[in-house]
Amino acid sequence: AQTVTQSQPEMSVQEAETVTLSCTYDTSESDYYLFWYKQPPSRQMILVIRQEAYKQQNATENRFSVNFQKAAKSFSLKISDSQLGDAAMYFCAYRSATSGSRLTFGEGTQLTVNP
Amino acid sequence: EAGVTQFPSHSVIEKGQTVTLRCDPISGHDNLYWYRRVMGKEIKFLLHFVKESKQDESGMPNNRFLAERTGGTYSTLKVQPAELEDSGVYFCASSQVGYLETQYFGPGTRLLVL
């Protein structure tokens, strides 16, 4: 069974600075997808960024980018130029490409952005 | 386009009572998922519908939980009888069938069993 670990329950960053959230996962599969979801205090969880495991190039979405290290089974999220609106709970998630479409989540990292 | 909606947003019930949660997926999304986050832990998968059929219900904790998706549109998740350990946030998500099948989540229902 796959597992996802987020070792940082809480992180904080100063506005306009950069922060990196860690995520590691364990799987025996070679083909899968990885996601970062964000849940702001308003509770609606939204997709931040996604990565297909077969792609070597790291995904980027505006100020959000990932560092995907397949051999190390690591998938960290970097937020550049942090904004107050980035404050949220961030969840890392794994999905197999071949055996079901359920998401397996980490426990989440609560990000605080300080003005 | 309307997102995934869930009702109610909060529910407080006593142990032994019955509660029914509802999820309306994004129009046209054949995949519908239920997840649960208990006591600040990780979000865990409960089950997956494709249209009205249960594709995977391996995450359902026990037979006190019953999920339905009549007509392949909205879904309900009934807990009967509710126990204290059922407290948590229940999320619904939907996706289109196809490549990547990105799941879009609803705001969740916060259930508290006293």
pLDDT tier at B13 (50, 70, 90 boundaries)?
Answer: very high
Say if residue B17 is exposed, middle or buried (CB neighbours under 10 Å; 0-12, 13-18, 19+).
middle
Report chain A residues whose CB lies below 8 A from the CB of B50.
Answer: none
> Residue A81 pLDDT > 80, yes or no?
yes
Cα A60–Cα A2–Cα B106 angle in degrees, nearest 5:
60
> Residue A43 pLDDT > 80, yes or no?
no
> Residue B68 pLDDT > 80, yes or no?
yes
Distance of alpha carbon B104 from the chain centroid: 13
* 3-state secondary structure (DSSP) of residue B96: coil
* Candidate from B40, B44, B107 with C-beta closest to A43: B107
Report chain A residues whose CB lies below 8 A from the CB of B103.
Answer: 47, 101, 103
Q: Mark A94-109 as b/e (b = at least 16 C-beta within 10 Å).
A: bbbbeeebbbbbbbbb
> Residue B1 pLDDT > 70, yes or no?
no
